[in-house]
Structure 1
């Protein structure tokens, strides 16, 4: 009997570490639960968008949510297929607390043949007090088997 392959989510830490922007901001994989996949980001002064308040830059938060949503689609697929963000809506509910680490939790709640639908939350301590909530749609494609002639 052959052993089944490990879940694709076992590669998420390596995927985050291998993504230049995620590596540059210091994002890391926390793990997987019934709530979805979670990523973390340690607070750093160079990620602050407003030096007066010490609040993280909105672009950092957006990138974390987008990346987490993509991982949630791969988690639901349990395999690598090329995906791309079709739509990403973020509702900012409050400013992030200065000096606090950030957590993103994302879950793909519906998967069709070609689209993955995801919800995600950004927070410091608990998802019940979110900084932001996101809803996203990702297109799922198949990698081309041959490069078409020019």
Structure 2
């Protein structure tokens, strides 16, 4: 693992590492279902409620995940999550996925804005988080050749 810290006006941390697993996806028949972003399983969507108090996002942040998945021998790509661009008053989200030779490259970029939002905006806040969570939980489908 390599950790690079940038201690400037906009600080950042970059973690680079390689992981290997024979148990990464679920096999059903001749198909293999692989999570697009196993690192964001904990991205939650709060339960809808009749909100009475403002929404507080105490600090803004930006997260970028770049994931490279090597295709297993004898498999080809059958299905990929659709790329998406989201813009909202709460933030932005970009999801891109492409195949390069024998590798799938997934890029997820989330920017959450700091702010205080009216209780009536809670449904829009939940919708934004739900769309982001759906992308994080997307599946890559591989088929045995």
- TM-score, normalised to structure 2, is 0.29
Structure number with higher relative contact order (C-alpha < 8 Å, ≥ 6 residues apart): 2
- TM-score, normalised to structure 1, is 0.28
Which structure's residues are more often helix, by fraction?
1
Which structure's residues are more often strand, by fraction?
2
Larger Rg: 2
